[in-house]
Chains A and B, each alone.
Chain A
Amino acid sequence: MSELKKNTAEVQGEKEAAKKQAVGSSEKSNATMLEVRELSIQFGGLRAVDGLNLKIKKHQLYGLIGPNGAGKTTVFNMLTGVYKPTTGAIFLDGVNITGKSPVEINKSGIARTFQNIRLFKEMSVLDNVKVGMQNSTKYTTIEGILRLPRYFKEEKLMTERAVELLKVFELNGEKNALSANLPYGKQRKLEIARALATNPKLLLLDEPAAGMNPNETEELMNTIRFVRDKFDMTILLIEHDMKLVSGICEELTVLNFGQELAQGETSAVLNDPKVITAYLGD
């Protein structure tokens, strides 16, 4: 175990070195997927997030935890462009995406799910996923109205891809149902499927296990791991369920009152007295 830790530490050191070399050159040889530097946002007199630093490696499962009101969802909203940070910078795969609009940020490769599920309720399950493929579809509106060959070709391709994704999440049986009529757990899965349909590099999950029972959480953990491996995805997630966090996250950052309280490997962070105090009080 200690050896393993040492190994990962070494690897990390190598990656750091590689990154230092890469600075100044256009080559993106470092393996950092998301880098956040000194990110802060101020709402009036309230500094909701204060000087947050994050570094998430490719293919990593990273957790962002903290007590209620710590600013976790605010961080997500800044990463996805819903809020513009007051100061700080966000780099996705080496590209600065600070202050871009949500649409541009999605196009550059971040997809997310929401704490309170936001599906397209009056649309079918299949169409929900197909909406996610909007930007990878090339036919124009005119081609769509005139039903030119490219419309049929690309729609067919889209449907095939969407069905494949739905199969991964075991939603294919309900593909024609209205998404609002799905049970809660499946709605969460559909949201992940929709986010994956946009072909992201980084997937942000905002409390994916909220409102799930232990069995569903267990299943969700498997799904998240599976998604990471199958789609070679980097995943950042916010979660309150400690079982899920300790079960799948490799590294954690703990936020408290907008500031970083602890950062590091999951088991170490969760045993940190500071973290325990923040959650349980003195």
Chain B
Amino acid sequence: MKKTTKNNLITFGGTLILCVVLGILMQAGKLNSMTMGLMVTIGIYIIASTSLNLTVGVLGELSLGHAGFMCIGAFSSATVSQILINNAGAPNWLAFTLAILFGALMAAIFGFLIGIPVMRLRGDYLAIVTLGFGEILKSLFNNIYITSDKNGLHFGFTNPPKNIDTATKLEILRGPKGTSAPDLTNFWVVAAVLLICLIILMTFIDSKSGRACMAVRDNYIAAQSVGINVTKFRLMAFTLSAAIAGAAGALYMHSLANMLPKKFDYNMSILILVYVVLGGLGSLRGSIIATIVLYAIPGLLRGINQEIVNYRMLIYAIILICLMLWKNAPVFINMREKIKAKFKNKKNEAADLTSGGAEA
């Protein structure tokens, strides 16, 4: 079997087993509500970080606006689910499925449109522009108002729409005051979306398109010289990454009672980027593990005792710095290699002994 296929199967299988085990524990009532809430949020962040890994790890472009695409997915899906449930009377599962798909589609469209100018840039410039677009998308939803009444939908930009029939008034998007989407996200939905997204990412990366993206990452002049349309594949990966982030945003929106647009800010983009970078660029498994560990740390610190709560972000920061050093500082790299070499030597010695014995 091919090495990539094997690796992918291990990652996918591990995630699947983890989901099933957690699901069984949850059904058996062994988990408290805080842990269950944590599981849902971590699952959503895993979807976001693996999708960002496509842009940062596979395509090799630093994107600082990933939360912006989650924001689009979140608010467009909230609009659809509320309209479908309240105005069209659709069943919850159908409304939610359509809402997630719509969120992903809208994020993909915006990802494509933003990608056209952005993907002409490289390196630092690309990072700055994506940072800007992320903030613009957040501000956009800070200013959109959608209200429905018996006369239909009313839109407002920067101000709430006027002349609303108060008896049948239903506020769908309330600008900076946020949106209250129905609480539909549960563990099983997150697990299903996560597994589907993982499959899409893995199959994309392990196909000719993924190879083309990696070729562009490694050397774009050489990629052009073998006939790879650099812009096309960069745009393709960026759009796919945005679409999956949109799905994550849709799940996030429906997991909280009230979601404010300002939640999807620069900090969130950086948080996801931290998961990707510390998990390892280009490694989906790394992103998954890093997200679980790094998201759980602040939560667990909160759980230990009240004293530590004040210092939890400090401890979190120290852990991050230590991890970075462990990964990249030459001292630690040497140390790791020495340890590895020792293990190898021991193995070799053991092998020598046995083979020597056989000869004698």
Contact = CB atoms under 8 A, between A and B. Distances in A.
A107 B282 CA distance: 29
Pick the 10 closest A-B CB pairs, nearest first: A144-B207, A106-B227, A120-B218, A118-B222, A102-B224, A141-B209, A131-B215, A135-B227, A132-B226, A118-B219
Contacts of A30: none
Contact of A131 (B221, B223, B282): B223
B229 interface: yes
Interface string A99-121: 00111001100011010001111
Contacts of B200: 145
Nearest to A151: B207
Given A114-B222, A120-B219, 18 more contacts: A101-B224, A103-B228, A103-B229, A106-B225, A106-B226, A107-B227, A112-B225, A114-B221, A120-B218, A122-B218, A124-B3, A131-B211, A131-B228, A139-B208, A141-B207, A141-B236, A144-B210, A151-B207
Contacts of A107: 227
A119 B208 CA distance: 17
Contacts of A130: 208, 211
Nearest to B204: A145
Interface of A: 80, 82, 101-103, 106-107, 111-112, 114, 118-124, 127, 130-132, 134-135, 137, 139, 141, 144-147, 151, 155, 158, 176, 194-195, 197-198
Contact of A82 (B204, B217, B221): B221
A162 B15 CA distance: 33
Given A135-B227, A197-B226, A145 B207 contact: yes
B273 interface: no
Most chain-A Cβ atoms within 10 A of its Cβ — which of B203, B211, B230?
Answer: B211
Nearest to A204: B225
B214 interface: yes
Contacts of B226: 106, 111, 131-132, 134, 194-195, 197-198
B276 interface: no
A100 B223 CA distance: 16
B47 interface: no
Interface in B1-43: 3
Contacts of B223: 120, 131
B288 interface: no
Most chain-A Cβ atoms within 10 A of its Cβ — which of B223, B226, B228?
Answer: B226
A80 B224 CA distance: 10
B212 interface: yes
Contacts of B222: 114, 118-120
Contacts of A144: 203-204, 207-210
Contact of A102 (B203, B215, B225): B225
Contacts of B215: 120, 123, 131
Interface in B213-251: 214-215, 217-219, 221-230, 236
Nearest to A126: B2
Nearest to B200: A145
Given A130-B211, A139-B208, A123 B218 contact: yes
A200 to B, nearest CB: 10
Nearest to A129: B226
B203 A103 contact: no
19 contacts: A118-B221, A118-B222, A118-B225, A120-B215, A120-B218, A122-B214, A122-B217, A123-B214, A127-B211, A130-B208, A130-B211, A132-B226, A134-B212, A134-B226, A134-B228, A135-B227, A144-B203, A146-B203, A195-B226
Contacts of B207: 139, 141, 144-145, 151, 155
Contact of A137 (B208, B217, B229, B236): B208
A114 B225 CA distance: 10
A122 B236 CA distance: 21
Contacts of A127: 211, 214
Nearest to B3: A176
Nearest to A114: B222
B211 to A, nearest CB: 5
Contacts of A114: 221-222, 225
A139 B223 CA distance: 19
A121 B219 contact: yes
Most chain-B Cβ atoms within 10 A of its Cβ — which of A122, A130, A147?
Answer: A122
Contacts of B230: 103
Contacts of A141: 204, 207, 209, 236
A30 to B, nearest CB: 26
Most chain-B Cβ atoms within 10 A of its Cβ — which of A118, A194, A198?
Answer: A118
A101 B203 CA distance: 30
Most chain-B Cβ atoms within 10 A of its Cβ — which of A106, A120, A197?
Answer: A120
Nearest to A128: B215
A135 B221 CA distance: 16
Contacts of A147: 203
Contacts of A137: 208
B3 A198 contact: no
Contacts of A118: 219, 221-222, 225
A252 B330 CA distance: 49
Interface string B98-136: 000000000000000000000000000000000000000
